[in-house]
């Protein structure tokens, strides 16, 4: 099912947990949803066909990285990311704000010009304005576009956070003007404000006045504790528009996702399942397995006997332990696939639990296991 116009439908609420559906011209997206991260137009160590077969309904790519390499013009020649990377799924692109904060050593923030920084690849000076970020995302042909924001590092300096959110809201307004009218696409605003309730509410109020197709929570997953993150969610989600999708950026672990769904979040992305796969970690319903560990050297059982994609259920833990300790690429591929499938299975089970009014039981069963 596709829709010529981007829209969101809230289907059911179970306390604060929400079941919904995002409609796009490339297909629908069931929420709560987890988006595999394809930063550089690829989900690392995975074929895009396998990502689609895993049940993923949308992926994420990154403006900052793609504008540096291969460059916007290269992707534009193909008509956008979908044809460039052979992906039929909807694509959300992050604006680059987080990467500017985390990767660039020398960043100057100018209210008018935007972010002035040096490329982490070759040191080249780059100016990324709110307007330029939107133009790049249009050239990438993104389905969900994010406004450029300033994503401050973890700090308790309330004055600094206050100034940052004011700047981000100013840039959000400029992003909205540059985005214009694009009914097939969506533009999301990003709520900032650190761990402070009043700042988060101030940021949200400003963004609502501008008006967006969805609202993201940024500035989390930057070093705060899980309890701090959950506290922020409890203080803000009850004020977020019910008829718009809510996106928690850069989160997270399975327990992070369970806790955030319980507090009213609809959308997630994180490198956790893919990065963990490349370091030998497997997510399962019995908990996480570190397959580097020597105890798996003689374990003939598969990680998950039910995963038939790429015949994953035919590979033993013993074999994968051997691949990891031999630095074979296949280990990363098998574990990445396992973890992506686990995350999609998690989201399916969460949606079913909300639908059947059993989310609290599901949450209590797995919150301390996975």
Which residue numbers are catalytic? 94, 269
Residue with tokens 């900032």: 192
What φ, ψ does residue 289 adopt, rounded to 5°?
-115, 125
**How many CA atoms within 13 Å lie on the side-chain side of 317?**
21
Q: Which residue has the tokens 């995350």?
A: 343
| Contact (Cβ atoms closer than 8 angstroms) between residue 112 and residue 100 | no
Q: Which long-range contacts (CB under 8 A, 24 or more apart) does 162-170 make?
A: 162/199, 162/202, 164/192, 165/192, 165/193, 165/199, 165/202, 165/203, 165/206, 167/109, 167/111, 168/97, 168/192, 168/203, 169/203, 169/206, 169/207, 169/210, 170/111
User: Per DSSP, which regions of 177-219 are E strands?
Assistant: 186-191, 214-217
Residues in the chain: 370
Adjacency order of strands within the sheet including 59-62: 33-35, 267-269, 246-248, 214-217, 186-191, 144-146, 91-94, 59-62
Dihedral sign for Cα atoms in the order 156, 157, 158, 160? negative
What torsion do the CA atoms of 140, 145, 148, 150 make, to the nearest 10 degrees? Answer: -120
CA separation, residue 89 to residues 26, 30, 195, 240, 256 (Å): 7, 13, 34, 27, 25
**Cis peptide bond N-terminal to 353, omega within 30:** no
- Alpha-carbon distance values, 83 to 48, 75, 142, 183 (Å): 12, 9, 12, 21
């Amino acid at each position: 099912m596709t829709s010529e116009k981007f829209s969101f439908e809230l289907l059911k609420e179970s306390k604060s947990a929400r079941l919904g559906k995002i409609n796009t011209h490339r297909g629908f997206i069931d929420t709560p949803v987890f988006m595999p991260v394809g930063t550089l137009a690829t989900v690392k160590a995975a074929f895009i066909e396998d990502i689609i077969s895993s049940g993923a309904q949308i992926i994420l790519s990154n403006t900052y990285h793609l504008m540096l390499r291969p460059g916007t013009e290269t992707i534009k020649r193909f008509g956008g990311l979908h044809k460039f990377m052979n992906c039929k799924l909807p694509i959300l692109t992050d604006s680059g704000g987080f990467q500017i904060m985390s990767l660039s050593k020398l960043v100057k923030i100018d209210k008018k010009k935007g972010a002035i920084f040096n490329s982490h690849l070759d040191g080249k000076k780059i100016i990324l304005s709110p307007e330029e970020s939107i133009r790049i995302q249009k050239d990438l042909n993104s389905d969900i576009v994010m406004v450029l924001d300033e994503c401050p590092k973890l700090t308790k300096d309330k004055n600094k956070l206050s100034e940052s959110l004011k700047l981000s809201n100013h840039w959000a307004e400029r992003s909205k003007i540059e985005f214009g009218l694009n009914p097939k696409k969506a533009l999301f605003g990003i709520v900032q404000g650190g761990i402070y309730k009043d700042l988060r509410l101030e940021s949200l109020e400003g963004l609502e006045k501008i008006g967006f197709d969805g609202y993201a929570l940024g500035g989390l997953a930057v070093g705060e504790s899980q309890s701090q993150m959950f506290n922020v969610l409890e203080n803000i989600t009850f004020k977020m528009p019910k008829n718009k999708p809510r996106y928690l950026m850069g989160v997270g672990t399975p327990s992070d996702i369970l806790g955030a769904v319980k507090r009213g979040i609809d959308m997630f992305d994180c490198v956790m399942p893919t990065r963990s796969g490349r370091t030998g970690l497997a997510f399962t319903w019995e908990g996480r397995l570190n397959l580097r560990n020597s105890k798996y050297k003689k374990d003939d059982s598969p990680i998950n006997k039910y995963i038939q994609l790429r015949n994953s259920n035919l590979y033993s833990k013993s074999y994968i332990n051997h691949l990891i300790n031999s630095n074979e690429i296949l280990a990363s591929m098998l574990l990445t696939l396992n973890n992506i499938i686990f995350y999609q299975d998690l989201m399916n089970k969460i949606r079913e639990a909300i639908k059947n009014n059993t989310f609290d039981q599901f949450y209590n069963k797995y919150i301390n296991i996975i």
